[in-house]
Structure 1
């Protein structure tokens, strides 16, 4: 620690406040929660807007929730906000998540990025491995190499490739 803490009561209150979650939707988001547009094709139009589905899926990614727990979490948030809105059901979220492209993180987009490339060996397990251990038979072990390209500043995986063991990092 760089500084000694002298105001312990204020420090403790700050630690407790870290667990406080306040999430509010703007009036424009509430007004756009339900879909009002017709798609023009066969079947019923979507009841919930893309904004509502993206909001729910973003909350799911932030809090690492399964879809059913996400439905309950969003319903509790909407109840705390004293709105008459309901959360999309877990099956609706599952179906619509396949068609929406939710951007969780802003991509750098402009300029150059530094990429770090490395590889590691992965052992392949299968029926042959069990047979080799049980009967102590001699058999060649199977390996694969996983090559990763990582952005040096954001630590995002930019590319990944799985190859045979005889491929080098340079290739």
Structure 2
């Protein structure tokens, strides 16, 4: 039992430090099914070329990272470029407009 002035002694600092680093690690993956359904094969009459699923995923990431729409566009463009995934990301205006009907 620890008393008021006692401190917990951590013996393995290397492991502790790595655990702190890993807490903020981000991993993204985009599977083939998501890539195939990212763009609409036809316009819905709304004039948008992205599926509702693509917009939903974008809005989910926006909420998780608390990004403004312009920041979300830049973030996703960077991720897609780094992953070498041949997708276009919707512009912030497209996401804004689509979010009203998704």
Match of 2:67 among 61, 65, 69: 65
Query: Does the residue aligned with 1:11 lie in a helix, a strand or coil?
Result: helix
Following superposition, the deviation at residue 92 of structure 1 comes to: 0.2
Query: Does the residue aligned with 1:92 lie in a helix, a strand or coil?
Result: helix
The alignment's TM-score, normalised by the length of structure 1, stands at 0.52
Match of 2:21 among 13, 16, 20: 16
Q: Which has the higher contact order (CA 8 A, sep 6+)?
A: 2
Aligned to 1:33: 38
The structure with more helix, counted as a fraction of residues: 2
Query: Which one is further off, 87-96 or 20-29?
Result: 20-29
Runs of 4+ in 1 over 6 A off after TM superposition: none
Mind listing any 5+ residue stretches in structure 2 that lack a counterpart?
A: 3-7
Between the aligned partners of 1:31 and 1:52, the Cα distance in structure 2 is 11
Aligned to 1:87: 89
The structure with more strand, counted as a fraction of residues: 1
Aligned to 2:58: 56
Between the aligned partners of 2:54 and 2:92, the Cα distance in structure 1 is 13
Query: Does the residue aligned with 2:42 lie in a helix, a strand or coil?
Result: coil
**Matched ranges for 1:15-164 at <5 A:** 15-39=20-44, 41=45, 44=47, 46-100=48-102
Following superposition, the deviation at residue 38 of structure 1 comes to: 4.2
Q: CA contact under 8 A between 2:42 and 2:49: conserved in structure 1?
A: no
Q: CA contact under 8 A between 2:69 and 2:95: conserved in structure 1?
A: yes
The alignment's C-alpha RMSD in Å is 1.8
Query: Does the residue aligned with 1:84 lie in a helix, a strand or coil?
Result: coil
Between the aligned partners of 2:67 and 2:43, the Cα distance in structure 1 is 31
Higher-Rg member (1/2): 1
